[in-house]
Structure 1
Amino acid sequence: MGVDPGRLPEDSVRPSESGRHRSAGPGGAEPAGFDSSGFERNGVDRIPESDRTSTPWTFFVIFIGGSVGLGAVAFGWVGMTFGLGLWATISAIAVGTAVGVLLLVPLVLLGSRTATNNATGSGAAFGVRGRLIGSGIGLLTCLVSVGLTVWTSGAAGVAVAGRLFGLPDSVGTQAVVFALVAAVSAAVAIWGYRWLVRCTAAIFAIGGILMVLMPVAFSGRIQWGYAGSEPLLGTFGATWLLVATTVGVGGALVVCTIVGDWTRYIRSDVHPPSKLAPVAAVALFLGFAVPAAIGAIVSTAFTDPFAPFPASLAGESPLWYAVPLLPFAVLGGVGLVAQSLYSAGLDLEALVVRITRARATVIIAAVGVVLVYLGLLAPTIQGAIGAALLILAELSAPWAVIVGIDFVKTGGRYDPDDLQVFNRRETGGRYWYTGGWHRGAVLAWAVGSVVGLLTIQTLLFSGPLAGVAAGVDVSLLLGALVAALIYLPLRGRTTQRV
């Protein structure tokens, strides 16, 4: 399984024949990955070295810029609704996020090593056709994220506009706000990577300030000693672990298939793992834990901590904060929505290799808008989508562990050109395995996913084996552990076929 470290040079990205599957420009020259306006032509194919000019701090800005919206802040409120106290909620989210970050770091490095997105890079572990599993998980996760983020941002925007200008909280008003968030996000995503960097940099600066000011706005009413209510699972320990796994670990795993979308523009020979990994780990932890902690803190100041977060924030914030909250609420979600649409476009291109990244993103944006408006017309869909995100986390955890194990075992050394075999509609290469699939990896992922789904606990339903650990939700960790135990002995049994 993977690539024998002794077969490739230390630098994982070696000279290759990747130009053979890129259309030639005038005179036979390979076209630039971006035009003069910054429109991106690159897709899931290998990024040309001349375009790979980003740094670890570019990833930092992109990730944090997509994490300062109200959707990320509301994660802390979700943790509070499980009945824990303030500091117990924050500690559970922090510990869970730290575990999630450990699983994510190899996937961050994967993009830099392979010069492609993580779904395509996972072909080293799953086979060049087996990497379709990652593309499918990533596509569905991004669509779910689009729906949840637009609903959260739109609801908050409508509530603030109603307070400031008397606009009615009607279906029509929500439809207009949803359309604004979706349109701006889609335009950024379609234009591509460089516009995403610019957009998230602006959101990072402005949104970050407004998010930090949120506790200041409620400082006189925050209950720092808030003890919580009745724990959801009856006991403190079981509920604490539930928050740690579902909000902490599960929240982090949402991005496991997409973090390579940003690091594929970072050259591993210029910025080796020793430089990229620490910056990325800090970005991931801060991006998940800090907004959620702020959300938990602010929710203790609300008249009803269990009321919907956007409505409470809009209705109870002081006027001086409500005014800048309006653009923050509406546009703060643009960073995450644009990132999700962009990544989903790459995943669709990976599934349907005949279409371009831009066209795939247009299709995904249209599907995302339909999903958003279905949630507007049938609010029960929003609850179902939230549960779907947890289900996708159960599918993501075994996938992430398998890809991470392969990264560690190979020392992060890959043949980037052979990873592109499926995209070129060819066969063969060192990652062809059995018909393009590594059966051991697929089996480990399937069994781990089934175990996770059988033991899952959500607010809507629970798996038939949910009580296997005395009421503690161990589904994510158990599914990942089972996948690892199955994959490790099977990893070397499938030979690479050329």
Structure 2
Amino acid sequence: MSQPNQTDAVSPQEPLSHAESRGIELIGAAERHGRARDLFAVWAAPSVSVLSFAVGASMILLGMELWQAFLVIIASGIPWLLTGLVAISGPAAGTSGSVITRAVYGVRGNRVVVAFYGWFISSVFLALNWLASSFMAAELLAQLGFTDPVLGPVLVTIVVAAITVLVAVFGHGLILRSYPMVAVILLAIFLLVTAFILPHVNWNYAPAESLQGVPLWSSMTVGFAILASSPLSFSNSPDMARYLPRSTKPSHIIAATALGGILPSTFFTAVGALLATGVDAAAMDLGIESALLALLPAWLGPIFVAGVIINTISLNGMTTYTASMAFQSIGIPIRRIPAAVVVGAIGTTLTIYLVMSTSLLEAVNLMLQLLILISGPTMAIFATDVIIRRNRYSGEDLFNERPGSPFWYTSGWHLPGLLAVILGGGTASLFLTSSLYTGPIAAAMGGIDLSVPVSLFVTAAAYALWTRFTRPRVNPKVADRETANA
């Protein structure tokens, strides 16, 4: 498949007066625009989240002391570097991450992986974030006299989902230009909420029974797995960077992406841990949304809920946008805008189910932990491929799906990629500790959860070794083109 030649010319950003019709198509040099630092706000706006409060509070509920919780929270920012690393493939290839991974899994293998992984990740995060805004808004409605425990969250979910899909329809231009303002608004609201939380913090907090030895390591590793699953799930980061000029420095892309996620999420997750020290267990049992609103003055409650909804729309708008392109990359004959509507409908359905069957804290912790078995290996293999190829991706070759093309491999399947990601997920499951399932090795170690490091190391090592010994022949013309594009 031929594509127009690309240069380093840069065009102005696309107008906001119409929806973005572009899907996974190659972005020519004349359509490239922006700077790496623009990505900071793109990732900061979704990271100023009530989910940070929720998972931060869960660190204390796991039995940790404050300093131990802070140590785990800080360490959980490290995986954001992988989010930044895979983002640099976007400008190099000029297309979405769900297309770039054809280099990892093969043309046909990629369809299977994206169909399973892409939809699972997208629906989980759509549901978790819509669930957060639904529970918060429903709690506020209950305080105002509307006490139906199901109808309230369902109505909020439907309205917020509709707005979210609208953001995804307008796409990259709207996200890039509106998210800096959204990040400032959310930061102001959440800092104001933090100011009312801090007076209730028990700075001398100590758990009823201090954990030591294996129980302590179990608590801290489970907490790390919950927190790390969020940045590891963002292997869609190339989608947000793909409009940048090819000449953009990779180090700047990595820094802007990683810092945009690390700084706000680390701060507000720490605030969530502090919140849990000043709220008794009975109040937390009613739900973190109830505990939060109880600490705020009446005038701030609606503002905070509005901030939660804005954050939900910003994060899920980006998720829906990238998921709609994943739809196209697996070969479904549908344009991006209808695909975004379908993604929204799937996420809404899952959210409504969760609203009627679980609490926010239970849903967040359980689903984020299980997510590791998929997000850990797929992020590890993507990052490893970027390193092995030195970020040399030819967009033209990625869109060549004919037998014999550079990424056709073995009948359309790249066995090293497929086997490595299965091995990584399967091995990690042996080391996972959760309320739903505990792997046999984790159980033998007293509940210590090593699913994150195991999934990353095993997948990366297996892929690097297998690709080294099974590296396919590369057409000299292809090699020359990849070198010229680097």
SS in 2 for 1:458: coil
1:283 maps to amino acid: G
- Alpha-carbon contact 2:49-2:265 (below 8 Å) kept: no
Asked if 2 retains the 8 angstrom alpha-carbon contact of 1:432 and 1:497, the reply is: no
Does the 8 Å CA contact 2:51/2:129 hold for their aligned counterparts? yes
Q: Is residue 356 from structure 1 mapped to residue 335 from structure 2 by the alignment?
A: yes
Cα separation, 2, equivalents of 1:190 and 1:233: 51
Check 1:385–1:47 CA distance in 2 against 1; reply closer, same or farther (3 A cut).
Answer: same
Distance in 1 of aligned mates of 2:233 and 2:325: 16
Q: Does 1:481 align with 2:457?
A: yes
8 Å contact from structure 2 (residues 55, 365) kept in 1: no
1:279 lines up with 2:256 in the alignment:
yes
Q: Is the 8 A contact 2:138 2:153 kept in 1?
A: yes
Q: Where does residue 239 of structure 2 map in the other structure? A: 261
Distance 2:298 2:147 in 1: 19
Give the deviation of 1:144 after TM superposition.
0.6
Give 2:170's aligned residue: 191
CA distance in 1, matches of 2:343, 2:246: 30
CA 313–233 in structure 1, closer or farther in 2 if over 3 Å, else same: farther
Which of the residues 406, 411, 419 maps onto 1:435?
Answer: 411
Shift of residue 320, structure 1, vs aligned partner: 4.2
Task: Verify: 1:310 aligned to 2:327, yes or no.
Answer: no
> C-alpha offsets along residues 19-76 of structure 1, whole Å, 9 cap, x if unaligned?
59xxxxxxxxxxx995661411111122232332122222111111111131233221
Does the CA-based 8 Å contact 2:232-2:375 persist in structure 1?
yes
CA distance in 2, matches of 1:385, 1:84: 18
Contact persistence 1:177–1:330 (CA under 8 A)? no
Matched, 1:46 2:26: yes
Classify the secondary structure of the residue corresponding to 1:47: coil
Residue 290 of structure 1 is matched in structure 2 by: 267
Query: Does residue 88 of structure 1 match 2:68?
Result: yes
**Alignment-derived partner of residue 195 in structure 2:** 216
Offset at residue 377 of structure 1 (A)? 3.2
Q: 1:468 to 1:400 in 2, by over 3 A?
A: farther
Say which SS state the counterpart of residue 425 (structure 2) adopts: helix
Amino acid across the alignment from 2:398: L
Counterpart contact for 1:141–1:389, Cα < 8 Å: no
1:419 and 2:387 correspond: no
Number of residue pairs aligned between Structure 1 and Structure 2: 464
Q: Residues 69-88 of structure 1: matches in 2 within 5 Å?
A: 69-88=49-68
Equivalent residue number for residue 2 of structure 2: 17
Contact 1:69 1:329 in 2 (8 A): yes
**What TM-score, normalized to structure 1?**
0.86
RMSD (Å) for aligned C-alpha atoms: 2.6
- Secondary structure of the structure 2 residue equivalent to 1:75: helix
Distance 2:359 2:415 in 1: 39
TM-score by length of 2: 0.88
Query: Between the two proteins, what is the percent identity of the paired residues?
Result: 22
Q: Distance in 1 between matches of 2:212 and 2:105?
A: 38
Instruction: Give the residue type in structure 2 aligned to 1:276.
Output: I
Structure 1 residue 150, shift from structure 2 partner: 0.9
- Which 10-residue stretch deviates more, 50-59 or 88-97? 50-59
Give, in angstroms, the shift of residue 326 of structure 1: 3.0
The question of whether the paired residues in 2 share the 8 Å contact of 1:232 and 1:239 is answered with no
1:425-464 → structure 2 map (5 Å cutoff)? 426-464=402-440
For residue 27 of structure 1, what is the aligned residue in structure 2? none
Q: Does 1:67 align with 2:47?
A: yes
**Mapped pair 1:243 → 2:220:** no
d(CA) in 2 for partners of 1:380 and 1:218? 22
Classify 1:390/1:72 alpha carbon distance in 2 versus 1 (closer, same or farther; 3 Å): same
Write the distance in 2 (CA, Å) between the matches of 1:331 and 1:477: 33
Residue matched to 1:118: 97
The residue type equivalent to 1:466 in the other structure is A
CA distance in 1, matches of 2:22, 2:108: 21
Structure 2, unaligned stretches of length 5 or more? 6-11, 476-486
CA 1:453–1:228 in 2, change beyond 3 Å: closer, same or farther? same
Q: Could you give the per-residue CA deviations for residues 251-309 of structure 1, whole angstroms, max 9, x where no partner exists?
A: 22121x2111101111231x211322222221121143222112222232224374321
Counterpart Cα distance in 2 of 1:380 and 1:58: 36
2:481 aligns with none
**Do 2:424 and 2:458's aligned partners in 1 also have CA atoms closer than 8 Å?**
yes
Work out the CA distance in 2 between the residues paired with 1:484 and 1:474. 16
* Match among 93, 96, 119 for residue 139 of structure 1: 119
- Displacement after TM superposition at 1:462 (Å): 1.1
Tell me by how many angstroms 1:385 deviates.
7.7
Report the alpha carbon displacement of residue 152 of structure 1 after superposing the two structures with TM: 1.0
Quote the Cα distance in structure 2 between the aligned partners of 1:228 and 1:242.
Answer: 17
Equivalents in 2 of 1:276, 1:135: separation in Å? 27
Q: For 1:494, which of 458, 471, 478 is the aligned residue? A: 471
CA–CA distance in 1 between the matches of 2:315 and 2:16? Answer: 25
Residue 185 (structure 2) aligned to one of 206, 210, 217: 206
CA apart distance, 1:187: 1.1
Distance 1:33 1:363 in 2: 27
Q: Is the 8 A contact 2:233 2:376 kept in 1?
A: no
Query: 2:254, 2:42 → 1: CA distance?
Result: 15
> Residue 77 of structure 1: SS of its match in structure 2?
helix
Report the AA paired with residue 70 of structure 2: I
Q: 1:244: how far off?
A: 1.8
Change in 2 beyond 3 A, CA 1:148/1:232: farther
Tell me how far apart the structure 1 counterparts of residues 224 and 62 of structure 2 sit (CA, whole Å).
11
Shift of 1:427: 3.4
Residue equivalent to 2:9: none
Matched residues in 1 for 2:16 and 2:292: separation? Answer: 42
Mapped to 2, the partners of 1:184 and 1:57 lie a distance apart of 27
Q: Secondary structure at the match of 1:473?
A: coil
Alignment equivalent of 2:132, drawn from 144, 148, 152: 152
Cα distance in 1, alignment partners of residues 351 and 142 from structure 2:
21
The residue number in structure 2 matching 1:409 is 388
- Deviation of 1:449 after TM superposition, in Å, equals 1.0
Deviation of 1:147 (Å): 0.8
Structure 2 CA distance for aligned equivalents of residues 421 and 155 of structure 1: 46
Matched residue, 1:12 = none
